[in-house]
Chain A
Amino acid sequence: QVQLVQSGAEVKKPGASVKVSCKASGYTFSDYNMHWVRQAPGQGLEWMGRIVPKSGGTNYAQKFQGRVTMTRDTSITTVYMELSSLRSDDTAVYYCARGDKFFFEYWGQGTLVTVSS
């Protein structure tokens, strides 16, 4: 069965970077794009961007351009999302989600990133 397993919770200081991983299994890794969505405490979902595992090509939401980098390692079927210059309002749960044509059918369990001095 399809599984997306994310790395554990992180605590970072303002100005630092964080890198969250998402290991995929149960399907052909290169056949589906992977998206990243975040949710601040008590807030709604926010799309951050996506990576095309086959090519490594990326598309980022304008809000995160210049601060986010999505990469993948096909040898271990894992995608990564790195967010730099962290601020307190980057405190959120970060999800990876497999893109099935026009929606996100499978989601990771979420990774809490806390930014605090």
Chain B
Amino acid sequence: QSALTQPPSASGSPGQSVTISCTGTSSDVGAYNNVSWYQQYPGKAPKPMIHEVSKRPSGVPDRFSGSKSGNTASLTVSGLQAEDEADYYCCSNAGSNNWVFGGGTKLTVL
């Protein structure tokens, strides 16, 4: 199972919007609406920000949104804030009780 493809980096200025893509295949991202996104600060455990493509867990600001088209999922962060600077990982179910993560994207707030 190959990792999902994410851009290594993304950036934006405070208040702007940034979108991070996550490309898989018809066997994972394209096959299931089970894409999730995780935020990770250095030295900390990941925190879920989006599940089932576009649902936000309790407590996650509505500045974070998710979508999917075909084999590509996306995470959009609107109204960027300094605290959004972190690494972001997508994850998808890949069938047969298997899961696969993306390589991660480092988001920089300029």
The segment from A8-16, A68-76, A105-113 that touches chain B is: A105-113
A80-115: CB near B (< 8 Å → 1, else 0) gives 000000000000000101001011110111100000
A61 located at the interface, meaning its Cβ lies under 8 Å from any Cβ of chain B in the complex: yes
Interface size on B, residues (CB 8 A): 25
The answer to whether A59 touches B97 (Cβ under 8 A) is yes
**Chain A residues with Cβ under 8 A from B1's Cβ?**
61-63
Q: Tell me if A26 is interfacial: C-beta within 8 Å of chain B.
A: no
Q: With A59-B96, A59-B98 in contact, do A105 and B104 touch (Cβ < 8 Å)?
A: no
Chain A binding site: helix, strand, loop or mixed by DSSP? strand
Interface residues of B (CB under 8 A from A): 1, 3, 34, 36, 38, 40, 45-48, 51-52, 57, 89, 91, 93, 96-104
